[in-house]
């Protein structure tokens, strides 16, 4: 895995945020019994499995040949992404990983000059940086859905992925009494 040059803090920051959301989704899904990955909470709602299928399709479409072709590829079957595609946790995690690796391969090949180029999504022009931010918002939205569904499925067995309820004072006391860490809040995510 390569990373952009250290002088390009915008790309490094974006990569760290994408890695943060990937890790958040993985930690949430790890707490869910396999059968619950396929459950919905209401008629017409999506399961974790379906959300992963949609993310996989979107990521592969948007990030394949990112700088040169429209982000909505002719081969993408978006409507099918909202139908159950997988039969096991392993298949879900494989689709999850495939989508994210497509994204990381595209982003890690960029430099600061790439950010001002124009790319197209469904025929609409975006700066590269704008397109990246668009996808970051989209993926964080779906990762939040995964966390909510996982928390519902795990019930009392849920382990918080953030500061647990009632734990803010202890967290702040520990944080403010510790030596200050350098850099961005996601620096510990690789």
Residue ranges and CATH numbers for the domains of the chain are: 9-161 (1.20.120.450)
Separation in Å, CA 76 to CA 44, 54, 79: 22, 10, 9
Task: Report the pLDDT averaged over residues 22-47.
Answer: 97
Task: Report the pLDDT averaged over residues 89-116.
Answer: 96
Q: Name the band, by pLDDT with cuts 50, 70 and 90, for residue 164.
A: confident
Query: What pLDDT was estimated at residue 180?
Result: 67
* pTM of the predicted structure, to 2 decimals: 0.88
Query: What pLDDT was estimated at residue 167?
Result: 85
Query: What pLDDT was estimated at residue 183?
Result: 55
| Tens digit of each residue's pLDDT (9 = 90 or more) over 53-93 | 999 999 999 999 999 999 999 999 999 999 999 999 999 99
Task: Report the pLDDT averaged over residues 105-119.
Answer: 94
| Tens digit of each residue's pLDDT (9 = 90 or more) over 115-147 | 999 999 999 999 999 999 999 999 999 999 999
**Distance between CA atoms of residues 53 and 96, nearest Å:** 8
User: Cβ of 190: how many Cβ atoms within 10 Å?
Assistant: 8
| CB contact at 8 A, 37 and 47 | yes
Q: Name the band, by pLDDT with cuts 50, 70 and 90, for residue 8.
A: confident
Separation in Å, CA 149 to CA 23, 38, 169: 16, 10, 27
| CB contact at 8 A, 150 and 157 | no
Query: What pLDDT was estimated at residue 149?
Result: 98
Q: What is the mean pLDDT of the chain?
A: 91
Query: What pLDDT was estimated at residue 173?
Result: 85
């Amino acid at each position: 895995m390569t990373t952009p040059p250290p002088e390009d803090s915008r790309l490094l920051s974006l990569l760290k945020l994408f890695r943060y959301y990937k890790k958040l989704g993985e930690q949430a899904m790890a707490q869910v019994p396999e059968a619950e990955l396929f459950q919905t909470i209401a008629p017409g709602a999506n399961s974790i499995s379906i959300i992963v299928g949609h993310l996989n399709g979107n990521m592969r479409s948007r990030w394949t040949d990112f700088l040169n072709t429209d982000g909505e590829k002719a081969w993408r079957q978006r409507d099918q992404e909202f139908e159950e595609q997988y039969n096991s946790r392993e298949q879900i995690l494989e689709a999850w990983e495939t989508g994210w690796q497509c994204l990381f391969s595209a982003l890690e090949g960029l430099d600061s000059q790439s950010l001002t180029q124009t790319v197209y999504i469904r025929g609409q022009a975006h700066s590269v940086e704008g397109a990246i931010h668009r996808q970051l918002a989209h993926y964080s939205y779906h990762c939040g859905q995964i966390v909510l569904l996982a928390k519902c499925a795990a019930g009392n067995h849920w382990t918080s992925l953030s500061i647990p309820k009632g734990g803010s004072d202890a967290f702040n006391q520990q944080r403010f009494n510790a030596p200050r860490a350098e850099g961005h809040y996601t620096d510990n995510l690789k």
